[in-house]
Chains A and B, each alone.
Chain A
């Protein structure tokens, strides 16, 4: 098994040395390329790869990139100039000086960056050279590329540009990005890389299917969302996006201006506060409703922007998807690289039978936490059918629940958290502040305790699991309810753990590590009876073992020789008696 680091980088802080190093490595590569590319033109002449030619000379990004980059730097300039724009007087001359400095530094930097950025696509690798002060020469082997994503945001689309990001299996971050190239170049790059990958696999068998010559997605449509479905899906979800929007809008406005406005409308505000004080319950209700409606509307808008015209294709052994209103995102997910299937829902969606399907992959997209949404909104049965196309599974009829003692533990934990909030605030609550019925407001927080119990019970009811031949199934969560389907083939490391509190109650937590899982909302089975947890760990591991033993036997026709008595691993029989 090769180590994950496979791209070569030559970096150096000193420009002269750096250039020398780059030059030499470049030479080395060009030799390798000419070897690799030597027979290629003949191959091209018999029609195999005529449209798929490698970009052999180093290419610059699209010239319009310059314009876009300058455009992107304008907001910073605006912020620097803000004092002068609001109050053009001699006091604010500094910001003008700063902005001139900014222009003197930033604009050449953009141009230099552009001039020193180049990329090449060869049949073996993608080479990206960049950096002004620190040269970086990165080559990404073609066979390690998992996903080439093409992203067009609104401005880029106006100019016919696209951003290409390259992800590999080894690293958790994006390996390389080309920002921006023209749309047709982006499609060419993707097509070229795919055909190189295919050639490796099929050993130059028949000609590549050129059906995707126009860069159009081919294959069978697995899922598509018409506009009405997108809107409906947004309506089932809330977003707190509007809060961020309000705050960022506020930052652009001069605080003094707000203050003056507030002071001027003092009378009206007093009226409002009086009215609110008179009917506290009503005003709390009203603000909840307003917040809810805003969250609802922004949920719809966010979904519309993200999932507009969502389409998912199944093409041979990979999934392709494309979606977005302002920023159109296209991506590929090889089926083999799917680590787990995740069905996600919230109580409202669940009530009407709606679910979201995600797949967990390794070439991790940072925005989506290693989870890629492949169907944002569909009915349970449809989702299951779709999931089976991606990776076959056999959803168990019965799930086993965890130990009911978990209710006690959770209730205790929540109560502890509540008292950690309440006790200090009771202590510091000034006399004469709001104290309904003679008790300070924080004391009323104690009335939340029954809800905590209810919450703990809900958590328990929503948490269960099943261990089957084909994998591990876990359901958990109340507000965000998950169903993880983790195939045996993709299990990595097996754990059980018990904290001191769990040990007192004879409980354990079982978890099976997978590649590329999110850090929160982790597929754990929390608070199983200790014996059951260990037994299930054995069960899971034994299935994993059997799976791979049978595979080896099927491949070599004999059991794994490494397990023979004299071949197997031994610790040195040393000191410990």
Chain B
């Protein structure tokens, strides 16, 4: 994502901490999930193809429809996670969480830690296999009230959560968050 020109502008202010990529095995997780979706789409189409195997008015030869779905699905499941992985990045800085993501719409987000209402670490079945966790940050904002950082090693995600919690609890300002 050609943001090199604008990267300078943001890092100028927010400098000091390394920009992290996600754990590389997140691409495998995404691939598995997309393959699941492909299968979900593929089997009905295959069924349709099989039931029309001997019909005379078939508008395409056998296998074309299911083959296309399979090919596109495989391509998508392999390419898309890599693009997504490349677009992702985050940094935990002294006063904010900085997140960058999105293939089609690239978004960069600055979440001031003091605006965080609460933090979760969650894990689904596949993520558990890879010992990865997801950091979910809830803010009182209206449009993007949840900021999610996927694909962190579980221990790291929990550490970030604890650090953020500590920061919030030690806040000397005791005013209402909203």
Contact = CB atoms under 8 A, between A and B. Distances in A.
B32 interface: no
Interface of B: 1-2, 5-6, 9-10, 12-14, 17-18, 20-21, 91-96, 102, 104-118, 139-145, 147, 153, 155-156, 159-160, 163-164, 167-168, 170-173, 176-178
A143 to B, nearest CB: 10
Interface in A514-538: 514-519, 522, 530-531, 533-535, 537-538
Contact of B112 (A515, A537, A544, A562): A544
A498 interface: yes
Interface stretch (A108-116, A274-282, A297-305, A549-557): A549-557
Nearest to A496: B108
A574 B5 CA distance: 29
A492 B137 CA distance: 13
A420 interface: no
Interface stretch (A158-166, A174-182, A564-572): A564-572
Interface of A: 1, 3-4, 169, 336-337, 339, 362, 370, 490-500, 503, 508, 511, 513-519, 522, 530-531, 533-535, 537-538, 541-542, 544-545, 548, 551-552, 555-556, 560, 562-563, 568-572, 574-576
A562 B178 CA distance: 22
Contacts of A542: 13
B172 A538 contact: no
Contact of A569 (B9, B93, B155): B93
A496 B139 contact: no
Contacts, number: 154
Q: What 5 A-B pairs are tightest by C-beta distance, nearest first?
A: A513-B141, A494-B110, A515-B140, A497-B107, A492-B141
25 contacts: A1-B117, A336-B176, A362-B140, A492-B140, A493-B112, A493-B141, A493-B147, A495-B110, A503-B1, A515-B140, A522-B143, A531-B5, A531-B6, A531-B9, A534-B10, A541-B14, A545-B95, A552-B172, A563-B94, A569-B92, A569-B93, A569-B113, A571-B20, A571-B160, A572-B155
A497 B114 CA distance: 23
B93 A556 contact: no
A541 B167 contact: no
B94 A495 contact: no
Contacts of A552: 172-173
A548 B111 contact: no
